[in-house]
């Protein structure tokens, strides 16, 4: 256990020996921000404090008497709790919290069992307790993940949740069941409180709006990606009808549409759309921003100065925005900052040592964070991967090939929103700040640009 999850040495110490060891181990976990002190408390001496937040059943064998007197409900969750007043060795305690306001999550259950009675003062009590301990590793990891996540608030500014792979479909073939609910649950457990679902075309923007309407905490961008700009002239009603459709999506969904985009220029993929077509319809999307007052969600790849030129010419037509998935140099970052823009970072932004050097130059009050899922995961070949080993204790869920999919696992090669925690770890390492501090700063950055007029309680 301790080799895989750094929090568990504390729990192991807490579970063996006398009550002072229990208290010391739990206190250490709280101080390390690995557990949140609100689930169960014991009231007074010789009582101690039990701290846990569980999303599924966990069985923990403990050899001492335990007395539970009251339970504190989870924040913003209505809980019905039944707890025995007192327990002796050998009895089973169960804490059940029905989450009335979060029906999509399973019941919370904590079971403490003591199947091996040990005489007080026995020299073998510690060894017996250790031998009796049996934890569900996945459940414990979920508990720690949830506790860590709820200590911070993260908004993923770029999630391509309209991609069919999040419905289990790969290259037109259904490989496994639709697992969107599980993806969103893992995202919440990682600390994500909001996601911007990227719209890259008229039809994709409509799907982003539909998803955002269906799932609280999701918000849409509406626009035309540079690699999709060739479809504008092919639209049955022509370019005017295409942009009228985008405008209607915005006007009819102002409570959940937070940006114009994804729009910009991409000269790395001119086989999808020629330069003149990209430039023409990038310029036209400033009309949407000016008419609606929305900020912009921007894309720039190898444009030889054209992107900066167009941005400077139109800077007074939009309120603000972010250049997402930044992969440029330190000089390019400075040019974007001089335009008053924010910069979005994901795994693709952190591939090389040059990337890392450029990202270090971006002040944290101008950073935003994203996954760009299902793309842009941090891979073992990336320069940033080495920084994960020195970061915080968050552990990614298991991942399996799509052919072996199950609901508790991610799919190998398919990036997910929850993996934003790895991007956060790397960014914190690069800037020499704690993950909690950086997450809070980026949350406020994002909220100030995209959510200042949105009524939503994060």
pLDDT tens digits for 421-457? 999 999 999 999 999 999 999 999 999 999 999 989 8
CA 107 to chain centre: 22
Give per-residue pLDDT as tens, 317-335.
999 999 999 999 999 999 9
Mean of the per-residue pLDDT values of the chain: 75
Q: What is the pLDDT of residue 188?
A: 93
Q: What is the pLDDT of residue 392?
A: 61
Q: What is the pLDDT of residue 394?
A: 81
What helix, strand, coil percent values describe the chain, rounded to 5?
40, 15, 45
Mean pLDDT, range 398-403, rounded to an integer: 94
Burial class (CB in 10 A: 0-12, 13-18, 19+), 75: exposed
pLDDT at 190 over 80: yes
In which band, very low, low, confident or very high, does the pLDDT at 79 lie, cut at 50, 70 and 90?
A: very low
pLDDT at 21 over 70: no
The set of residues, in sequence order, having a beta carbon less than 8 Å from that of 31 and lying 6+ positions away, is: none
pLDDT at 74 over 70: no
pLDDT at 80 over 80: no
Q: Rounded to an integer, what distance in angstroms lies between the CA atom of residue 423 and that of residue 325?
A: 12
pLDDT at 1 over 60: no
pLDDT at 113 over 60: no
Mean pLDDT, range 138-153, rounded to an integer: 48
Q: What is the pLDDT of residue 111?
A: 34
pLDDT at 296 over 60: yes
Instruction: Tell me how many degrees the CA angle 260-264-268 measures, rounded to the nearest 5.
Output: 145
Q: What is the pLDDT of residue 154?
A: 97
pLDDT at 114 over 50: no
Give per-residue pLDDT as tens, 195-218.
999 999 999 999 999 999 999 999
Q: Rounded to an integer, what distance in angstroms lies between the CA atom of residue 224 and that of residue 298?
A: 10
What is the share, in percent, of the chain residues with pLDDT greater than 90? 64
Q: Hey, how many other C-beta atoms are within 10 angstroms of the C-beta on 240?
A: 11
In which band, very low, low, confident or very high, does the pLDDT at 389 lie, cut at 50, 70 and 90?
A: confident
């Amino acid at each position: 256990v301790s080799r895989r999850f750094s929090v568990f040495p504390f729990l192991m110490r807490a579970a063996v020996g006398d009550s002072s060891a229990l208290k010391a181990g739990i206190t250490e976990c709280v101080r390390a921000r690995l557990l949140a002190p609100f689930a169960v408390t014991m009231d007074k001496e010789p009582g101690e404090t039990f701290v846990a937040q569980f999303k599924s059943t966990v069985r923990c064998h403990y050899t001492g008497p335990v007395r539970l007197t009251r339970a504190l409900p989870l924040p913003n969750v209505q809980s019905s709790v039944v707890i025995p007043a007192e327990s002796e060795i050998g009895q089973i305690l169960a804490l059940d919290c029905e989450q009335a306001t979060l029906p999509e999550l399973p019941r919370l259950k904590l079971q403490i069992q003591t199947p091996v009675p040990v005489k007080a003062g026995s020299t073998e009590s510690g060894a017996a307790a250790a031998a009796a301990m049996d934890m569900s590793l996945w459940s414990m990891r979920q508990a720690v993940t949830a506790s860590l996540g709820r200590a911070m608030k993260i908004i993923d500014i770029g999630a391509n949740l309209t991609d069919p792979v999040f419905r289990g479909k790969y290259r037109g073939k259904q490989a496994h069941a639709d697992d969107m609910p599980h993806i969103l649950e893992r995202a919440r457990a990682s600390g994500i409180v909001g996601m911007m679902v990227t719209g890259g075309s008229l039809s994709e923007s409509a799907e982003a709006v539909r998803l955002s309407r269906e799932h609280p905490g999701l918000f849409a961008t509406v626009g035309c990606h540079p690699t999709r700009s060739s479809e504008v002239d092919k639209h049955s009603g022509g370019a005017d009808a295409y942009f009228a459709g985008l405008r209607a999506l915005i006007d009819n969904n102002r409570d959940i549409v937070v940006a114009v985009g994804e729009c910009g220029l991409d000269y790395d993929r001119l086989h999808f759309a020629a330069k003149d077509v990209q430039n023409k319809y990038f310029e036209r999307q400033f009309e949407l921003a000016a008419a609606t007052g929305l900020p912009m969600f921007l894309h720039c790849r190898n444009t030889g100065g054209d992107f900066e030129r167009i941005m400077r010419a139109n800077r007074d037509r939009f309120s603000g925005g972010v250049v997402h998935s930044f992969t440029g140099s330190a000089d390019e970052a400075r040019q974007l900052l001089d335009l008053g823009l924010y910069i979005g970072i994901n795994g693709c932004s952190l591939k090389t040592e040059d990337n890392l050097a450029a990202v270090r130059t971006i002040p944290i009050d101008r950073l935003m964070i994203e996954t760009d899922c299902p793309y842009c995961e941090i891979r073992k070949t990336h320069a940033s991967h080495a920084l994960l080993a020195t970061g915080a204790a968050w552990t990614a869920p298991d991942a399996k090939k799509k052919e072996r999919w199950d609901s508790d696992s991610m799919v190998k090669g398919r990036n997910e929103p929850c993996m934003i925690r790895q991007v956060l770890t790397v960014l914190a390492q690069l800037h020499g700040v704690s993950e909690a501090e950086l997450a809070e700063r980026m949350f406020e950055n994002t909220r100030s640009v995209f959510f200042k007029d949105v009524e939503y309680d994060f």
